[in-house]
Chain A
Amino acid sequence: MVNYFPEEVLEHVFSFLTSHRDRNAVSLVCKSWYNVERFSRGKVFIGNCYAISPERLISRFPRVRSLTLKGKPHFADFNLVLHDWGGYVYPWIEAMAKGCTNLEELRLKRMLVSDASLELIAKSFPNFKSLVLVSCEGFTTDGLAAIASNCRFLRELDLQENEVEDPRGQWLSCFPDSCTSLASLNFACLKGEVNLAALERLVARCRNLKSLRLNHAVPPDVLQKILARAPQLVDLGAGSFVHDPESETYNKLKNVMQKCTSIRSLSGFLDVNARCLPAIYPICINLSSLNLSYAPGIYSKELVKLIRKCKKLQCLWILDTIGDKGLSVVASACKELQELRVFKSDPNDVGNAAVTEEGLVAISAGCPNLNSLLYFCRQMTNTALITVAKNCPNFIRFRLCTLDPITPDAVTMQPLDNGFGAIVQSCKGLKRLSVSGLLTDQVFLYIGMYAEQLEMLSIAFAGNSDKGMVYVLNGCKKLKKLEIRDSPFGNMALLADTGKYETMRSLWMSSCKVTFGACKSLAEKMPRLNVEIINEGDEMEGGSDDRQNVEKMYLYRTLVGPRKDAPDSVWTL
C-alpha cells in the first residue's frame, strides 16, 4: 500500500512530523521513505558535533534550514574539561557556507565560537534569521556587531550564559535603521556597556519584539522608556533594578509596568534594590515563568511576597535565600508549578545552603504537577525523597545536589539509596537524573530496574564497586548520556558491555578506577567509538602505562573516526 503513495503525499504527511526522533524513525522504514524524509527535513539536531561531519550532514539533508549543535561534554560547565578541548563551530559554518546557503537558524551549546565564525555567518547566509548561543565562548561583541550589521532579516539573537569579551560595546548601534524584524533579543550575559540610545531606537522600530532581556548596564530609567515603547513584550529580562523608590523614575516605572499585561516571563534583576520590587506586583498574576536566580540581593521575605502573587507560575528559578519556609509559601501559592530550580546564593561558600529536605517536601505536597527539578540543598533524607516521589510521580528531570557530595540521610545516617529508588520507581517518565549524597551500589540497582525511560544520568562520589555501573548499563535501555566522576567504577564495568556505547551518545568517566589499558582495548574493539583520554599535566610525559588509572575519559559514538582538531593534551586511542 505504501508503495503507491506518490512522494508528494509522503512529503506532506512527513511535514507534520516536527520531532527529530520521529523523523529519524520514519527514515528507517525503507529507502523511499528515507529519501523523501531527507529532502524534506528542515531542522537537524546533532547532539555531539563530533559524531558526524558537516559534509555528510549536507549531503544527507541538502535543504537543512535550522541546525542545532552541541560541543563539549556537560561536565565542562564545572571546569572539568580543558578550555581548548574542542567543539569548534567554524568548520560547520564553512561547510554550510559552501553547500547550504539557505541556513536560517543556528543553535549552539558549549561550543567554541570565534568572531570569524560569526562574521562568516553574517556574510554567507542571506536569509539568516536566528542565532542562539548557550554556554559558548570564544567570541567578542565584534562578532555580534557583524551579525547585527549584515543579517537583514534577523529575528532572534539569544545569548544565554556565554563568556563574551566586550572591547567596544557599540555592537547595538550596528543594527541598521532598516532592521525592524527583531522579535527576540537577549544580551543579559554581556558584561559591558551598551549604547542606550541605540537600544531605545531599536526597540521603538521593532514592533514585533516579544522577548527582550537586558544586561546590567541598562538603568531603570531606560527600562521604563523601553517598556513604554514595547508594551507588547511577552518575555522581559530586567537589567538593573536599583533605584530610589521615592524617585520620579520609579513612579514612571510602576505606571508603565501596569500596562505591560502581556508579560508572561520575567528574569534578570542583576542589580536589585528589593524595595523597588513592588513595581512588579501588578504583572505577577500573569507570570508563568520567573527567574530570580541571578538576583542575590532579595531577601526571603521579599521573595515570598513577590512569588505569592504569581498564582499561575509554572517555572521558577530561585536562590536558596528563599529558605524552607519560603518554599512552603511557594507551595501554597503556585499550584501550577512544573519546574523548580533552587540555586546556591553564594556559590563560593561550600559550607552552606539555606534549604533542606523540608522545603522540597513542601513543594511536592503543594505542586503535584512538578516535573522538573534542580535542587541544591544542605541535606536530604530518604523519607523526604519517598514522600516527594509519592506526591509527584510526573518527574521528567530530577536533579538533586547535596552540598556535601557524600552526605547520608540526615536523620537515619543511612545511604540515600532508598530515596532515589523511590523516585525512579514512581516517576515512570523520568528522563534525566542526577544523584548525590551517600550512595551505594544499591541505588544503581534500583535505577537499572526502574528507570526505563532514563536518558541522562549524572553520578558523583557514589557506588561501591563495578556492579553499580553494570546495573545501570544493563538496565537503562534508553540511556543516552552517562557521566560519572569520583566513583569506584573500573575496568570490569567499562568493558562489561561494549556494544552498549554505540547505543549511547557519550560516556564520561573522571577520577574513577579505569585504567589506560582498558581504554585502549575498548578503543580497539569498537572502531565506531572515539575514546578520548584527557591529560592534564605530567601524565602524558610518562608514556602509557597500561595499569595506570586514567584521570579523565570521554567516549562517544561517531561515524567519522577520530577528530583532527584535538589539542595535544587529548589523546584519541
Chain B
Amino acid sequence: MAKLIFLWLKCLVSCCIVEAVFEDQVGKFDWRQQYVGKIRFSHFDSHVQSSKKVLMATEKNVFAALNTRTGELFWRHVDKTGPEGNIDAFLLHGQDALLVVGNGRLLRSWDISVGGLNWEVVLDSGSFQSACLIGQQDTVKHVAVLKKTVISVHYLSNGHQKWIENLPESENIDYQALYSGGNGEVYVLGIVPHSHIAIVVYSMEDGEIIKQTSVEAPWLSNIQTSCAVVGQGMITCVDSLTMSLYTLDMHTQSKMTQIPLQSLGLEVTPHFHPVLVSHQPNAAHQPLSEFLLQLGPEHHLLLQLNSGQMVVLRDFKPVRHMTPVLTSCVFVSESEHNLQIDILLKGLLHLSLFNAETGRRLLDTTQFLSIDPNVGKPESIYVQAFLKKDDSVSYRVLVQTEDHTLTFIHLPGRVMWTREEALSEVVTMEMVELPLTGTQAELEGEFGKKADGLLSMVLKRLSSQLILLQAWVSHLWKLFYDARKPRSQVKNEISIENLSRDEFNLQKMMVMVTASGKLFGIDSKTGSILWKQYLNNVPSNAAFKLMVQRTTAHFPHPPQCTLLIKDKDTGLATLHVFNPIFGKKSHITPPALTQPILQSLMLPLMDQDYAKVLLLIDDQYKVTAFPSSKNVLQQLQETDLTTTQIWEVIIPTEIQKVVTVKGKRSNEHVHSQGRVMGDRSVLYKYLNPNLLAVVTESTDVHQERSFIGILLIDGVTGRIIHEAVQRKAKGPVHVVHSENWVVYEYWSTKSRRNEFSVIELYEGMELYNSTVFSSLDRPHAPHVLQQSYIFPSAISAMEATLTEKGITSRHLLIGLPSGGILSLPKMFLDPRRPEIVSEQSREENLIPYAPELLIRTEWFINYNQSVSRVRGIHTAPSGLESTCLVVAYGLDIYQTRVYPSKQFDVLKDDYDYMLISSVLFALFFATMISKRLAEVKLLNRAWR
C-alpha cells in the first residue's frame, strides 16, 4: 500500500515539477526594469576622481547608487514603506553616506563602494530638525543631529554617540538649524516666532555650552526658509514685508543689521516668499561668502557679503522680454566656486556655468538642450562639475522634471540616459492586442467575407498565398542582408510604425498608468517604452481606472482606452480617451462630469462603432453613458438613465467594515463545466457570473476578538450564497475570485502565521439548467466546500493565471516580500484534498491534505530577478491556450510568460530536431538495406 502511494506521489510530483524555468530560458521572454522613485536628495560621488556613481535617496524610501554612464543600478536598498522608512536627510562624506531615517529615529552610514551598511544607531525620540557634518582642523569626524529638544553628536567611524545635550528652553524656542564653521564649535539656531532668534554654541569636544545669545528679530517666522549662514558665520535673512536683508555676525554682534533691498536696487515680486541659498562646499571650512537670492519665481541674484558689505555680483533677470524662464540656480563644485543656471525657454533647456566669485559666465559651458514639452518643467537639477585634462571646466547634469523623468546630460548637450521614475508607481494597467498589419488584415479578411463564387474564391486564395510567399521571400532577404552586417549594427528596433501582432499574439501593448499622471505604452516583448503621455492636470490624490472600450479587432475603428481620473477628496472626475497603441488623445470628446462620481462600470453592450458602453453614476444617482449615442440608448431601452435600488445587504458598520468586493474578470472563460469524480460521475461547478465576493474586517483589532468575514453575494438578486467567518484573524486580506472558487489569504493572530483558505462551489451531480445561467432561476443552493492551509510567508499581491479558452489548469501567482513571484498550482488549494487517501481520490488525482503549503524556489517564475514591493500582478491571455502573460509591478516591473500545464500546443523550445531527423533517416536507410537483404535472400532461396 505504502509503495502504491509512493509511486503515485512520484508521478504526481513529476507532473507538478515542470513549472520551473529552464536555465537557458533566462531573459528569453522575460524582462525586469528596476526603479527608485522620485529623488529627494542626490549627491555625486566625488570621493574618487573616476567615480561613476550618483547616489540618490528617494521619496519611495529607497537609497540607491546609479551608474552615471548608463543609468543602471549599482545597488539599491529598499526600506520600509511609510513614515518609518522615510529619509529625512542625506549627507555624503567621502565614502560614507549618512542617512537620517524615520523622522530622526535611525542614523545609518552606508559604504557607497560596496553598498553595505557601516553602522546603524537608534537616536532618541523627538522629531527631527536638521543634521550636519562637523569639521575640525580640516577633517570631518563627527555628525550632529538636531531634534526638537536635544542635540547629539556621533562619530562618523562607528556611529557611537560622543555626547548628547538637552537644548535650553526647548519648550519655548523652536530650534531649527545647525551650523558648523569648521572651528570645533556647533551653532544651534532657534527661533521664537516674531520675537527673537536664539543662538546656542556648543563645544564639539564635550558638549558644553560656550555661549548663548538671543537676538531680536520680530519680523522672522522661520529660519529654515528665510535664513542662511554665509561667509564667516554671518546669518543672513530676508524678509518680504520690510523688503530688507538682515545680517548678523554670530561671533561678535548681538543685533541684526538691516540692509533694505531698495538700497541695492532690488524688488521682490509681490506674493513671493524670497529664498536664500548658501553653499558650504566642505564641512571643515566656512561657507562661501557668495549666496543666491531668489526674489521672484524667475528672478535670481548672486550676491556677495564681504565684511558687512553687500554686493550684487550678477542679476539673473529674464533679459529678453519674458521668453527665458529661469527655473533654478544651484551651487556646484567644491574648488571652482561655480554656479549653475538653467533656463527654460519654450521647451529648450539652457544651462551654463558662472563663476561665483566674479559672477562671470565661464567659457564653453553653455549648452542648449531641447526637451520634450510633454515632460513638464524641470523640478530639480543636480550638477557634477569636474576639471578636464586641459584644466577647463566641464560638467554633467541630472535633471528631474515634473513627470519624474530623470535625464542625465553631458556638456555638449548630449543626453546620456533617461529614466522614467514614474514607472516606480504604476497604479493600474491593461494589455492591449497589437493591430494586424496590412497583409495580415487582408488574409484575415478572406475568411470573413461571404463566398461569391468558386472561381473568385480560388483566385483570392492564390493571391493571398502569393502575398505570403512574397512576405516570406522579403523576410529571407532581410535575414540574409542582416547576416552580412556586423552583429552590433543589427538592431531590431521596435517603433510604433512596425508594430504588428505576432503569430501567437504573444506580444502586446502594456498600457500603464502611474500615480504621477503619466501614461506609458510599453512593448511587452522587449520592455521598451513606445509612447508616453504626461497629463499635467492630474490631482495628487487621484484614483485611476483604466478601461479598454474598443480593442484592435474592429478595423478600421481605432482601438480606444478610457482613463477615469477621480479626485479622491472631491469625487470629481475627468475622462481621458486615447488610442492605446499610439498614445494619442482621441478626438472624441468625453462627457463633462459636473457631479462627483460614485461608481463606474463597463457594459458588454457596444454602440454602432463597436465601443463598449461605460456608465458613470454620480452622487445624485444619475447615470451618464459614454458613448451616449442614440444606438446605445436604444439598446438600454431608456432615454433618461437613472438608478433604482433593487436589493441591499446591511453589514453592521460598528462591528465590521467592507474591505474588498471582488467579482470575476469579464474576459474569463470556463470550458470545463464540472469535475469527473473517481466513480466516473460528474460534479458540476456552480458558475455564477454575477457572484461577488465581499470581504469584511472587524473594527475590533484585539487579537482575541478580531475576525475577517467573507460573503458570497449574487449581484443580481442580492442573495447571500455563502458566508464564512475566520475568527482570530486579521487583514490585510488578498482575494482571488475565479471560476467557481474564491481563494483568500489572511493573518491568523492565534497561531501567528499566514493562512490560505479556499471556497469552492458546486451545483451537485446534476446541472439545473445547462444552457443558460440565470441568477433569478436557481432554486438550489450550491454545495460549498472549504479548506484552509498554512502559508509560510507573507504576501504582497495575488492573482490567478488566465488563458484564452480556460482549458489550461490554473495557477495562483503570489508576490512575496522577498521579491519572488510564486506560481502555486491551484490543485494544492483544492477543498477536496482528502485526509485519508482512498482509491477514488487517487483516481481523481487529488493530493492528500497537508496543512502546510510549500514554497519551492523552482516555482519562482522570476528566478533571481527579485521584484521589490509588488503592488499588483496583471495576467492576460495570449493567442496560445497554454500561455499566460504576466506582469508584476511595484517598485520594479517584471514581465514574463507562464505555462500552467506546460506548452502542450507548441513544440517545446528544446525540441530535438536533430534526433528526430536522424532517427527518421536511420529508419529510412534501415528499410532500404533490409529490403535489399530480403531480395538477396529470396534470390538465394530461389536458387536452392
A-B complex is real: no
Taking beta carbons and an 8 Å cutoff, which residues of B are in contact with A? none
Taking beta carbons and an 8 Å cutoff, which residues of A are in contact with B? none
